[in-house]
Amino acid sequence: MELIKQNTQSKIIKSLLIIFFGSIILAISAKIKIPFYPVPMTMQTFIVLFFGISFGYKIALATVSLYLLEGIIGFPVFSNSPERGVGLAYFTGPTMGYLIGFLSACFLASYIRIDNNHFVIFVKLVLSVLTIYIFGVLWLGVVIGWDKPVFELGVMPFLLAEIFKVTLLTLLSKKIFKIRKLI
Tens-digit pLDDT string for the chain (183 aa): 777 778 889 899 999 999 999 999 999 999 987 766 666 678 999 999 999 999 999 999 999 999 999 999 999 999 888 888 889 999 999 999 999 999 999 999 999 998 999 999 999 999 999 999 999 999 999 999 999 999 999 999 889 889 999 999 999 998 998 887 776
Torsion, Cα 127 132 133 137, to 10 degrees, reads 140
Expressed as residue numbers, the domain containing 129 is 2-182
Looking at residue 39, its pLDDT comes to: 65
pLDDT of residue 40: 65
| pTM of the shown model | 0.91
Query: How many CA within 13 A on the CB side of residue 9?
Result: 6
Please tell me the predicted confidence (pLDDT) of residue 36: 65
CA distances from 77 to 5, 128, 149, 173, 179 (A): 35, 23, 28, 27, 28
Q: What is the CATH number of the domain that holds 80?
A: 1.10.1760.20
Overall number of domains in the chain: 1
The predicted structure's pLDDT at residue 81: 85
Q: Is the separation of the CB atoms in 95 and 39 below 8 Å?
A: yes
Contact predicate 162/45, CB 8 Å:
yes
Query: For residues 55 and 109, is the Cβ–Cβ distance under 8 A?
Result: no
